[in-house]
Structure 1
Amino acid sequence: MNEVAKKRPEFRNIHLLNDVRGYRMPPAAILSILHRISGVIMFVLLPFVLWMFDRSLASPQSHAELTSIFREGLWIFPGFLVKLGALVLIWAYLHHICAGLRFLWLDIDHHAVNKQTGRSSALASFAISLGLTVVLGAKLFGLY
């Protein structure tokens, strides 16, 4: 009975002001948080998306007006800021889709859920969504 008891690890809540700076979240946690943020962005900007969709399909004149907004700007926003807002929206959609497909895959194939799979699939989701965002952003800004 003289055995030294192995000390169990202590799990405590993270204090917001003191502990957050030193806490390093895994890629899967960052992906999950950004998935929620991209969902909020898509929800908040839904009226803008519907307005752009309406303007692009209503008539050739309204389509020309929409493309001129992306070139010249809208009200107080120069064209660069309009394109930057559209790029944020493109990222939100692509990230939300890639992360959502990852979550569905992990739900379906629950035997593959482990630390390494979670990390590698999160990094793959980041790479795919950011790569597609760069390609579509280059097209949006007229780089090709």
Structure 2
Amino acid sequence: MDTSGPRTVKKQQRPVNLDLQTISFPITAIASILHRVSGVITFFAIAILLALLSQSLDSEQGFNNVMETLDHFLIKFVIWASLVALMYHLVGGVRHLIMDLGYWEELDTSAQSAKVSFIITGALALIMGVIVW
């Protein structure tokens, strides 16, 4: 073995594609990204909901103002979207906890569990829609 000089590794020039619209993500990656996004949405939604709760507990007029605000379609949609984000985050969190226990770690079972989490979230979204409206 020749140890007389430093060994150099030739770095290959690989093409770089930074256009996210042309990259096809696997369903497990989409589920993971959406889990993170739903966590951020839930974080900000909790802050807004706590502000509304605080205003509603201040006085009767504050309560009436909050109730009037919650009657608008756009506000109901935001509440529904926040609830759906929370439900997806909970379902995805349970999925990740089960994966931490050693189940659903193979490619096919993790893809199936991601699909099931999307289906469960869809059903919960319908239920939340009925509750909000």
Whether TM exceeds 0.5 here: the answer is yes
Query: Mapping of 1:85-124 within 5 angstroms?
Result: 85-108=78-101, 110=102, 112-124=104-116
Query: Mapping of 1:20-59 within 5 angstroms?
Result: 20-55=20-55
Please, which moves more after superposition, 28-37 or 47-56? 47-56
Identity across the alignment (%): 31
Contact map agreement 2:38 2:88 (CA 8 A) in 1: yes
Code of the aligned partner of 2:23: Y
Please, what is the CA RMSD of the aligned residues?
Answer: 2.2
Query: Larger radius of gyration, structure 1 or 2?
Result: 2
Distance 1:38 1:13 in 2: 32
Tell me which residue corresponds to 1:83. Answer: 76
Query: Mapping of 1:127-138 within 5 angstroms?
Result: 127-138=119-130
Q: Aligned residue pairs: how many? A: 120
* CA 1:62–1:21: 2 relative to 1, 3 Å: closer
Tell me which residue corresponds to 1:74. Answer: none
Distance 1:111 1:100 in 2: 14
Structure 2 alignment gaps of length 5 or more: 1-13
Distance 2:113 2:15 in 1: 27
Tell me which residue corresponds to 1:16. Answer: 18
Contact map agreement 2:70 2:76 (CA 8 A) in 1: yes
- SS of the residue corresponding to residue 70 of structure 2 reads helix
* CA 1:112–1:16: 2 relative to 1, 3 Å: same
Code of the aligned partner of 1:26: P
TM-score by length of 2: 0.76
Q: Spell out, residue by residue over 1:14-54, the C-alpha distance to the aligned partner (whole angstroms, 9 max, x if none).
A: 5113xx43432222111100011111112223321212333
Distance 1:117 1:87 in 2: 30
Distance 1:115 1:48 in 2: 38
Code of the aligned partner of 2:48: F
* CA 1:107–1:139: 2 relative to 1, 3 Å: same
* CA 1:61–1:21: 2 relative to 1, 3 Å: closer
